[in-house]
Amino acid sequence: MADQEFSGRTALVTGGSRGIGRACVEILARHGASVAVNYRANVDAAQDAVRAVTAAGQRAIAVQADVADERQVQSMIETVEQELGPVDLLVNNAGVFHFVDHEATDLAIWNQTMACNLTGVFLVTWAVKQKMIERGFGRIVNMSSISALRARPNSIAYAASKAGVTGFTKSVAQALAGHNIRINAIAPGLIDTDILDGVEQSTLSRIVEDTPLGRIGTPEDVAELARFLLSEQSRFITGQTIVVSGGRVMLP
């Protein structure tokens, strides 16, 4: 049985019903947190995630909100605070991805991607940060991507939005460090989620060949790092973006 390092803490995972978000929900619950599972449309998947948390013996709720909508975000945070308590641990995971070349990248794709992937991180962080400041405690993990670190001509909007997440993470981490709020980002490589649906096997095989560890990542690979960054085991780490890509991208 996992330790209860997050006992008495409330966690919010945006985009928590599937993939990396779902893995984060489950690992935080196993380590003692009460967890709010944010979703935008798939209520069934969110409720399934809630059942997984309650099966681990922790409290959980599903909270619907489009993270790009300020009013919905504020309503979501109010619900979480009423049902579970103030947010101590935040995973900004919700995101959208368009795999299109520059000719197909229009303003609609750009705006939607920025609104969800970057403005959404800002809105949710800003909705919880004041009470974190008042309590003198907060831990935040933002999901960036290796697309923020390497040229991506077929996902220009996505790459730009994730680069923004990395910049946001560094600046806000420094701004809030004096309040015992630590903020870090994770830059996953290719992870085995539904984003791979429809991707040709030849493409996946080529990526695996380019990955020194020789496989595609799992949601749990990312969630384990998120747990570490939210825990006191990482107490001297803030403002960092850590790559989880099996060696496909190495920094600096």
DSSP string, 115-137: IIIIIHHHHHHHHHHHHHHHHT-
Render pLDDT for 67-124 as a digit per residue (tens, 0 to 9): 999 999 999 999 999 999 999 999 999 999 999 999 999 999 999 999 999 999 999 9
Tell me what pLDDT residue 126 has.
98
Fold of the domain spanning 10-244? Rossmann fold (3.40.50)
Distance CA 249, CA 161 (A): 18
Strand residue runs (E) in the chain: 10-13, 34-39, 60-64, 89-92, 138-143, 181-188, 241-244
What average pLDDT does the segment 53-69 reach? 96
Render pLDDT for 228-252 as a digit per residue (tens, 0 to 9): 999 999 999 999 999 999 999 998 8
Furthest C-alpha separation in the chain: 52
Distance CA 24, CA 119 (A): 21
Q: How many CA atoms lie within 13 A of 218 on its CB side?
A: 4
Task: Output the average pLDDT for the chain.
Answer: 96
Tell me what pLDDT residue 196 has.
78
Residues recognised as catalytic: 158
Distance CA 83, CA 76 (A): 11
Model confidence at 1, pLDDT cuts 50, 70, 90, reads low
What are the boundaries of each domain within the chain?
10-244
How far from 177 is each of 124, 137, 163, 227, CA to CA, in Å? Answer: 18, 10, 21, 19
